[in-house]
Amino acid sequence: MDWNWQVIFDSIPDLLGGSVITIQLVLISGIIGLFFGLVLALLRLSKSWLVQALPFAYIFFFRGTPLLVQIFLIYYGLGQFQSIRESWLWQPVLSQAYWCAIIAFTMNTSAYTAEIIRGAIQAIPVGELEAADAIGMSKWQRLTRITLPRAFGIVLPAYSNEVIFMLKGSALASTIALMDITGVARTISARTYTLMELFFAAGIIYLLLSWVVLFTFKLLEKKLNRYMTYEPPDVVTRTIS
């Protein structure tokens, strides 16, 4: 099979333009998802089952259903309710594919992130927490000065994998007509009949973005764990089937 390399070169500007949308989706949903994931993780660590119940159900649903289904439920499903269509959020947010994708990605990644952070907190050596109690730290001081900094040092390897999964999962945004990398590749390939060439180029861009993510997290992990002399224990992450 002869490849049309010219169409790849001609499509690079459009694919790079689509990568801006991809990066925005991953970055915005990742930041918001990290915050909500932290809150969910702390609630899951509560000793009260009443406090644990809601975050457990949330995590169970979003980890147990496909991301594509979640995107469709938010983008197509919410419009079925008249009260939502008449709300002030409908026009600027809930009727827009871009924001619906961000909402879906945020809710999905926050569920996985919550379990990753919970596992990291539980992996903190008990002696460090006991030392904080011994010097009279309050619960808030222990959380902000010991627990969270140590947990984030432990969590980075697993969380970098989660960001990679988010990056690859962002390709599903093209199913609701967003022109991300995959959306641009699909559109151009349908017009030029060069499916292999366009998706090969799209795959290379995803690969480069993945390398940037891994390299960034490697530097961050090295900085945060520069005083550690042991390998961080494994924590909960997604598995590749």
Each residue of 219-238: pLDDT tens digit? 888 887 766 654 555 555 56
Which of these, 193, 169, 167, 171, lies nearest to 184 by C-alpha position? 171
* Angle, vertex CA 83, rays to CA 80 and CA 89, nearest 5: 95
Condensed to tens digits (0 to 9), the pLDDT of residues 7-58 reads 889 999 999 999 999 999 999 999 999 999 999 999 999 888 889 999 999 9
Q: What is the pLDDT of residue 230?
A: 47
Q: Which fold has domain 5-224?
A: MetI-like fold (1.10.3720)
Cβ-Cβ contacts under 8 Å for 20 (sequence gap 6 or more): none
pLDDT of 97 reads: 93
What pLDDT shows up at residue 237?
Answer: 54
Token pair 């030392």 is found at 131
What's the DSSP call for residue 231?
P
Q: Which of 152, 172, 191 is nearest to 35 (CA)?
A: 152
Residue segments in the chain with a per-residue pLDDT below the cut of 50: 230, 240-241
pTM for this prediction: 0.87
The pLDDT value recorded for residue 240 is 43
